[in-house]
Structure 1
């Protein structure tokens, strides 16, 4: 536990430490973000509720492009919690030029329905922007990483150990296409391959309603080729949220 916390702290502090000692390209500091919220509530013969929230913030600071991401999902059906997931991530990209950069990233996820108390991943490597035009963006990243997963009490007692960890190969692909000034399609794919293969795909369409307010439809697929014995390999999540850009 102390080891993963130390690694996470180093990864999250690295962009700011490097910022203090590096020679930056002169430019304005910029900061932007998107906040999402979606909820459903039914009462009567059926009582269900669900809440999905997301905060995505982007910062350009000299040669650095930084991203800060928070997500939360909660679902309840007739008083029973059926889904609960919390996710936090941070990534810093140091730009060598318009196309090439190095990245350093770390994320932490809590999802008790997978049989783990939490999962943490850190990685660093090389990224390249293949397309960066006005209406289309495509980038890919690859590098080594480390994953740590803490089993919950039930799984720990069943398996006889309380954690799993391994060195992984980390890869990510990010694609955006703007259909018009008011709508766009985004596709994100992230994979970590070590003792097992774990991947996450998010496909989304966003359409502006008025001003900075938009509607977002997203399909998220999570995959693990070696789930715990009583768990499924694939989790899917489909949601509609309101998005506010600032």
Structure 2
């Protein structure tokens, strides 16, 4: 019951944050009542002796309104090899930041991820806490967030039989570290780390390099590493993903 109350409180806090901040994005305009974002898409198709297809899509949006900065994020990954699905992952997240000063803020977020190859039907994470921008200049950003959270994972039918339960949950410590650096007038480096530490450690690291092609169109290269310190019996603890995509800022 206490866990359910915690989730409800965090979700309501997120819901009342009418505007939100996104996990990544273009160089968003500062000030009141602004909205911006970026769309990302990549695909690989082969036919003949090898019949494969893979798709990567991402949509990040940011809305600023007074002291609130709101972020919305949608991601999807799908891979198929000779009519067999080899990867499928969908993610939706929303976060609201309330600015206390130019550098500090309070945040509340909730995320939902579907990745059947981990042995879970879905994973839901909710957290809230405090964030601080240590460096915030036109050429560099370094910020960190930390606070309590709650993670709930629904096991698929096969693993539910093995584990003897249909779900696992835990109170976690949630932490995020973001670093962005402008390399040149047309390129930017980003490093993002997200960790949830409770009964186990669930972490994600994303390293990316973005280079403008023309106008608002850019090429993005990214390496994503996901880590689970206590995977299910037949699963590996580390997943990696390497992407080359086109990115459009709006």
Bin for the TM-score computed over the shorter chain: over 0.9
Decide whether the 8 Å contact of 1:4 with 1:148 is kept in 2.
no
Report the Cα distance in structure 1 between the residues aligned to 2:45 and 2:241, rounded to whole angstroms: 17
In structure 2, what is the equivalent of residue 50 of structure 1? 54
In structure 2, what is the equivalent of residue 20 of structure 1? none
Decide whether the 8 Å contact of 1:11 with 1:106 is kept in 2.
no
Decide whether the 8 Å contact of 1:199 with 1:222 is kept in 2.
yes
Match of 2:246 among 237, 242, 245: 242
RMSD (Å) for aligned C-alpha atoms: 1.6
TM-score (norm 2): 0.91
1:33-79 CA deviation, whole Å, 9 max, x = no partner?
A: 00000000000000000000000001111001111000000000000
Match of 1:193 among 194, 197, 221: 197
In structure 2, what is the equivalent of residue 14 of structure 1? 16
Report the Cα distance in structure 2 between the residues aligned to 1:30 and 1:224, rounded to whole angstroms: 37
Report the Cα distance in structure 1 between the residues aligned to 2:159 and 2:112, rounded to whole angstroms: 20
In structure 2, what is the equivalent of residue 147 of structure 1? 151
In structure 1, what is the equivalent of residue 170 of structure 2? 166
Which sections of structure 2, spanning at least 5 residues, go unmatched? 20-30
The count of aligned residue pairs is 236
Q: Are 1:124 and 2:152 an aligned pair? A: no
Match of 2:229 among 206, 215, 225: 225
In structure 2, what is the equivalent of residue 38 of structure 1? 42
In structure 1, what is the equivalent of residue 33 of structure 2? 29
Which sections of structure 1, spanning at least 5 residues, go unmatched? 18-26
Report the Cα distance in structure 1 between the residues aligned to 2:9 and 2:51, rounded to whole angstroms: 43
